[in-house]
Amino acid sequence: MIFRPALVLALIASTITLAQDSRSWSEIHKQDEAKWAAQTGLSPFTVHQLWRLASRFADTTDDDSRIQRLDVASLGRNHVVLVTYAGSEYCLTFTVFAQTRGYQKIWSEDTTPEGDGFCGTDPQVWITEGKIVVSMESNPPQTDNGRVEITNYSYEWNGKTYHFAGKWRTYRNSSDRSR
């Protein structure tokens, strides 16, 4: 008989914990939206809508993704790029929206041409000359004479969508965290 009350208490405690976790994700997302709204000049509502359009989850409390970058100017063509990260492996997803009347999702990518995720300890995203470039340390990190190998992937507009445009390697000193 003692087992039932203990089970009920455990279920109540886990329900309260889940409610607190979902509230905290909601608060984290609102903070992200306010930060990126201030940086881009978009409204927090618009930033939220872009994040939701990029999400694969129907319920916001199930989505642990956060915004790594929101760029409204660098791509040109009235394209907006949203880079989100999620998970313990810090995996990136790139989503591009066309800004016409509202925002229309036109492209999204979350895997390299080799089929791996854009995951790692410190993947960096660059937008230059209308191209999206992601740089990541090789996994596992390959070192050569104290240098760490960086793999770079480039995506560019072909008139209809973004597509893989090239891959190259660079190196940095293992003691240097900047790229």
Kindly write down the DSSP assignment for every residue of 100-121, as one continuous string. Answer: ESEEEEEEEE-B-TTS-BEESS
pLDDT tops 80 at residue 8: no
Pairing of strands 66-71, 162-173: unpaired
Whether residue 111 is predicted with pLDDT greater than 60 in this model: the reply is: yes
Give me 160's structure tokens. Answer: 């209809």
In angstroms, the CA 97 to CA 159 distance is 14
pTM of the model: 0.79
**Separation of CA 80 from chain center:** 14
Range 149-153 average pLDDT:
93
Residue 173's contacts (CB-CB under 8 Å, 6 or more residues apart) are: 146, 147, 148
65-104 pLDDT per residue, tens: 899 999 999 999 999 999 999 988 889 999 999 998 899 9
Task: Give the C-alpha separation, 151 to 94, whole Å.
Answer: 17
Mean per-residue pLDDT for 25-40? 89
Q: Return the structure tokens found at 60.
A: 């916001």
Query: In this predicted model, which residue has the larger pLDDT, 148 or 3?
Result: 148
Query: What is the C-alpha to C-alpha distance for residues 103 and 158, in angstroms, rounded to an integer?
Result: 20
Residue position matching structure tokens 């104290």: 146
173: pLDDT confidence band, cut at 50, 70 and 90?
A: confident
Neighbours of 147 (CB within 10 A): 15
Pairing of strands 79-86, 118-119: unpaired
Residue 153 pLDDT level (bands cut at 50, 70, 90)? very high
